[in-house]
Chains A and B, each alone.
Chain A
Amino acid sequence: MARRLRLPALAAALAACVASVAGCASGTPPATTALTPTFTYSYPLDVITDWDPATSYSNELVALQNVYESLTRYDPGTGTVKPQLATSWSSTAGGLTWTFHLREGVRFHDGNPVTAQAAKAAIARTIAAQGGAAYIWGAVSSIDTPDPHTLVFHLSYAAPMDVIASSDYGAYVYDTAPPGVKPGALKSWLEAAHDTGTGPYTVADWNQGQEAEVTLDAFPGYWGGWSGRHYRQVVFDHTPDVTTAWQTLETGDVDFRSQLNPELFKEATHFRALGTQATASLQNLIAFFNTAAGPLTDVRLRQAVQNAVDYDGLLAALHGSVGPAQGLIPSGLPGNDPALTRHQNLPLARKLLAEAGYGPGGRHLNLSLTYAQGDDAQQLFVTLLSSDLQALNITVDARPMQWNAQWAQAKATDPAHRQDILLMYWYADYASAYSWFVNLFHSAQPVSFNLSYLDDPVVDKEIDAIPQLTATDPAAERANYALLQRQLLEQDAAAAPLFVNTYQRVYASGITGYRDNPAYPDVVFVHDLEPSP
């Protein structure tokens, strides 16, 4: 009897399975999104890697840009910067002196007033920390504070300080002496999820490793005020799984998702309860080759892998969610060079491999690769690369990882424990291409983001020359970028730029005021949003 029941039970199970599949395929309209004073942001990566505004240089940008502010903010609509903590600014002496007038009546979250002295102390601390994006202040030789609301930068070479001050990292103005915190203890105090910003929100809670990772509460004394409708709380959910993110959007449990996949983005455009926005970005995906240890120390193997990548196939398979990589610098920034667009060249890849003793008929090669878990575009690239390389007698051991784990492995003190290939997105710190070179290819110890581990004094010298050229000779700057890119991508073959992202944002349609700002990747300036009543 029991046995007779088994087949119908199986049939029922299969029917339920097929029905659920079919149901998902046809889709059902999402429930009406109920907006609450809480704005929930679904983010695919760990949100926080560093709470210190002086050294922060990673994903936490999405939260910290709502907590801290800089002197200016870049406006993608006009291509210029607009006032933030500084209300006006001017330069004299051919750009060697910059004077910023600070907004009056602004207070830090700890209650202290924002003064020129406090801003100077914050910038001085950031420079001294020499971490993250401290390099942006490289032109600054001294800072004067003639009055409590005037900040004067004296530069050693001309530089666009108004644009530099809008940087997404390293330009935060924060209180270096919060009440009750001993001198020297600021960093550890900040790392315990405290903040000393001036932004509309302040850190309320941090649950490392949990889904609801960061909670920000409205700062009542915010200089921008709270009249009108605003979100009173912001929650950052760490949701690596795209399907889960979609479901939470559908049900209204989250209000914003930075990136789904092209198919779900297209699906979202059909839902009235969801708004979508696609914006060209200044963010590209780069494959970094380990030039310091492992098989890829042989430049011929790096060049072979570069030539084996199916760049055009990748673009086609990603259905319009990315654009072609034209060298290291995305379109829209000085130094972008369409002539550096790459195409697959398998015969050359085979030739290079044969010269190195590998490839079909030669020795077998194993390459380890790490990429971001939950990133569909990266996963798709890995599938294409693995398939193309298998035909060349190369096996790719690809591991999807959480960013913190991926980065930790990449920075392992023993080079033998590092990966052969690492995938990572990069974007400008401010409206300049310098960030790609100084951070990714300048030699650095300890390792930070120079994840091809390149150590080439000639390249370092060329990179160090960029800031001055930017201010004094734009034509020479572009020529230098062209030279550097050919050196890095062709001679050194230290990396392979794969594509430039198109940001595909999905959010609750009841939200008004959202405008993507590619200069601040993935950041939602929540105070600018207006929830539906």
Chain B
Amino acid sequence: MTDVSPTLAPPAPAPDRSAPPTPAARGGQARRLLALARRDLPATVGAVVLLAIVLAAVLAPWLAPYPGDGSHATHPLDTLAGPGGRHWFGTDAVGRDLLTRVMYGARTSLTVAAAVLTVSALVGVPLGVIAGYTGGVVKDVIMRITDVFLAFPALLLSVALATVLHPGTGSAIIAISVGWWPWYARMACVTATGIRSRGFVDAARCLGVSRIRIMARHVLPNALTPVLVQLSLDAGGVILTSAALSYLGLGPQEPTAEWGLMVQQGQDLFITDWWVVAFPGLAILLTAFCFNVLGEGLRSALDPHRELTR
């Protein structure tokens, strides 16, 4: 109760969100954003490329040169055409336009990544917060359960689960999520354990605020920053894992466009028709890399010690 940490300082008056920001305020935000972007060029480039990939995925039915090739169309008389004017990325073994397939593949990969991370965060973070805040037996039980999951390499666990499930996008999401949520539970637990002894939590407890309300209103919001950073860092990992499952035939099935599946199907053509495997492979590489640099940038930008160390 004698804690005099900055969190006990009287909160600054909340800005009036109903009033529109003044031009000066807007200019200030833009300048801050620009400064941030200048300060971390790789993260900025990563964010821009990811935005382009997301737009390509969302607008694939309108932007793709041959939208039918993204689903069930095949052209057996136009197989393995090299990159050129008609097909910028060439065509695959059944004559489908690879640029179209890569754009549609982005939809699958990003959907899987978003779903896995959402499920993992929704399951892992609340469990971690409960464990960290409550402590004792509850913490022990939850953390031992996470330990069981963490004892297996995430990819191995996903492969094992996907093998027994019906192959498909949904199965891939379930299989990856099962191996992913414990990391969020552990991270949230560590953060919540640190927060539970902070003064503002003690204050809330003394005022008779219920446990659930303390966890929801005071602990959880403070535990979210590292989670957000981790989510952006993990997106690339999920895409790689999803591609690995598809490569093994355990993810989405033909004719769904999926980068890992495209690489698997093109691997035997790598020597003679390199484009079949190169473009989906580069899409995986680029997306995973951009998520990583963006995550690093976020970590750096949201680091509370950042201003102090500069």
Contact = CB atoms under 8 A, between A and B. Distances in A.
A397 B166 contact: yes
Nearest to A374: B268
Nearest to B272: A263
Interface string B247-282: 001000111000000000101111111100010011
Given A397-B167, A399-B167, A390 B265 contact: no
A241 B94 contact: no
Contacts of A263: 80, 269, 271-273
B222 interface: no
A267 interface: yes
A17 B296 CA distance: 24
Nearest to B292: A6
B32 interface: no
B94 A396 contact: no
B300 to A, nearest CB: 9
B236 to A, nearest CB: 13
B95 interface: yes
B42 A6 contact: yes
B15 to A, nearest CB: 33
Interface in A9-60: 10, 14, 17-18, 21-22, 24-25, 27
A425 B41 CA distance: 57
Contacts of A384: 74, 76, 94
B74 A313 contact: yes
Contacts of B204: none
Contacts of A317: 76, 79, 93-95
A198 interface: no
A379 B265 contact: yes
B274 A24 contact: yes
Nearest to A18: B278
Interface in A384-426: 384, 386-388, 390-391, 395-400
B9 interface: no
Contacts of A25: 271-272, 274
B298 interface: no
Given A314-B76, A317-B76, A261 B268 contact: yes
B293 interface: yes
B73 interface: yes
Interface string B85-117: 000000001110000000000000000000000
B134 interface: no
Interface residues of B, number: 38
B274 A310 contact: no
Most chain A beta carbons < 10 A, residue from B71, B73, B94, B269? B94
Contacts, number: 109
A430 interface: no
Interface in B60-85: 71-74, 76-77, 79-80
Contacts of B74: 310, 313, 383-384, 387-388
B273 A21 contact: no
Contacts of A400: 249
B289 interface: yes
Contact of B271 (A7, A27, A376): A27
B285 A17 contact: yes
A367 to B, nearest CB: 11
Nearest to A389: B72
A387 B282 contact: no
A400 to B, nearest CB: 6
Nearest to A386: B254
A246 interface: yes
Contacts of B289: 10
Contacts of B40: 3
Most chain B beta carbons < 10 A, residue from A266, A267, A312, A380? A380
Contacts of B249: 398-400
A264 interface: yes
B76 A310 contact: yes
A382 interface: yes
Contacts of B41: 7
A316 interface: yes
Interface string A341-382: 000000000000000000000000010000000001001101
B268 A242 contact: yes
A17 B73 contact: no
A377 to B, nearest CB: 10
A243 interface: yes
Given A263-B80, A383-B265, A384-B76, A390 B272 contact: no
Contact of A382 (B77, B254, B269, B285): B254
Contacts of A266: 272
Contact of B42 (A7, A18, A314, A319): A7
A242 B293 CA distance: 36
A112 B167 CA distance: 55
Contacts of A388: 72, 74
Given A241-B268, A314-B76, A399-B167, A386 B255 contact: yes
Given A386-B253, A387-B255, A6 B272 contact: no
By Cβ-Cβ distance, the 3 closest A-B pairs, closest first, are A313-B76, A386-B254, A263-B272
19 contacts: A3-B40, A6-B293, A7-B42, A21-B270, A24-B274, A25-B272, A241-B268, A263-B273, A264-B272, A314-B76, A317-B79, A376-B268, A384-B76, A384-B94, A387-B71, A387-B73, A387-B74, A390-B255, A398-B254
Given A17-B281, A383-B255, 8 more contacts: A3-B40, A7-B41, A263-B269, A264-B272, A388-B72, A388-B74, A398-B249, A398-B254
